Structure 1
Amino acid sequence: MANPTQVKNYIAQWMQLGKKVFLNEQAIGTTNVLQGNGYSAEFEQIWTKITAESSRAYLAGTDQSIGNLLEHNWEMLNCVRCNMLSPCVAIGPRETPTCPCADLELWPDLETVTPRSPISNQAQLNQIRDRLSLKQ
């Protein structure tokens, strides 16, 4: 099963590319996903709506509900074409997963910065410090 953090990162990455989540047949989304070291308040509100009605929410271009990804035998893997998170059956017969990039005409675009998850500046600085201290 994909854990909630992985599913949240999956939704966040695709929203950064303009994908919407359909909830009760209404498209919701934002491109304002990241703010500082975390997710924006706007994205957090959308995520709360999605998780409250996860069985009726799905990312545009996919067939799996967010509820399925959270409750069943799914995992998040990187797409071989675009390297973005994409759901895949973890147990049982595997079908060729359809990545949400399938309907994006100009993706992957190697000229632009790819969507990402929030980054902790302090954690990044600590990793750099640790690597430098190992070299001495």
Structure 2
Amino acid sequence: MASQAQIRNFLAHWFQLGKPVVLAENRGQCLPEPIYQNGDYSKSFEDCWHRIMVTGGQDCYLEGTSQSIAAMLSPAWEVTPCARCDMPLAIPIAGPMNYPCPCSDLMSWPNTDMPMPRTAVDNRQHLSDLRQRLTEGNEWSTSESTESYPNG
């Protein structure tokens, strides 16, 4: 069963390639910009998710697919990487796969010359990790330079 977190991640990846969600009841499409902000989903993404969940995901689907968000959230579906492009793909747990990957209508995808869509990056955590590694590296070089070597 695909969790809400997996479906949100699925959508975020496809949004990065310009694929919108078609909303139920002729409410148009939703393609948030930006998708991420400050290491998490943006307000625009959260607003889009809310618009999807107004109908519980019924009759809302990623453009280029036919399964609804509601169906993907049911126990009959899971999210796995596409064999062709490695992007998240919703597939039925049992039965034949009659649904193409959303990449099937993207003529320039997969494109290994471009960065792959990704999840959010927490800049503060990333900078903290860099600072920690630099501090550890500095301690190593300081201890090495203070050691005395015998003259030979």
SS of aligned partner of 1:5: helix
Aligned equivalents of 2:63 and 2:14: distance in 1? 9
- The CA distance in 1 between the partners of 2:36 and 2:122, in whole Å, is 12
Q: Percent identity among equivalent residues?
A: 35
**Is 1:80 the equivalent of 2:86?**
no
Q: Is the 8 A contact 2:35 2:44 kept in 1?
A: yes
Among 46, 50, 66, which residue is 1:63 paired with? 66
Name the amino acid aligned to 1:6.
Q
Alignment partners' CA distance in 2, 1:84 and 1:65: 18
More displaced stretch, 29-38 vs 72-81: 29-38
Partner of 2:42: 40
Tell me, yes or no, if the aligned pair for 2:31 and 2:48 is still in contact at 8 Å: yes
1:112 corresponding residue in structure 2: 114
Matched-pair contact (CA < 8 Å) for 2:22–2:29: yes
Displacement of 1:31 after TM fit?
Answer: 4.0
The CA deviation at 1:35 is: 1.3
SS of the equivalent of 2:119 reads coil
The normalised TM-score by structure 1 is 0.84
What amino acid does structure 2 have at the position aligned with 1:58? Answer: Y
The answer as to 2:23 corresponding to 1:30 is no
**How many residues matched?**
129
TM-score by length of 2: 0.76
Residue in structure 1 matched with residue 96 of structure 2 by the alignment:
94
Higher Rg: 2
Equivalents in 2 of 1:52, 1:59: separation in Å?
16
* Amino acid paired to 2:101: C
Gaps of 5+ in 2: 137-152
- The 3-state SS of whatever aligns with 1:10 is helix
Q: Which residue of 2 aligns with 1:13?
A: 13
SS of structure 2 residue aligned to 1:71: coil
Structure 1 stretches of at least 4 aligned residues deviating more than 4 Å after TM superposition: none
Deviation at 1:125, TM superposition (A): 2.8
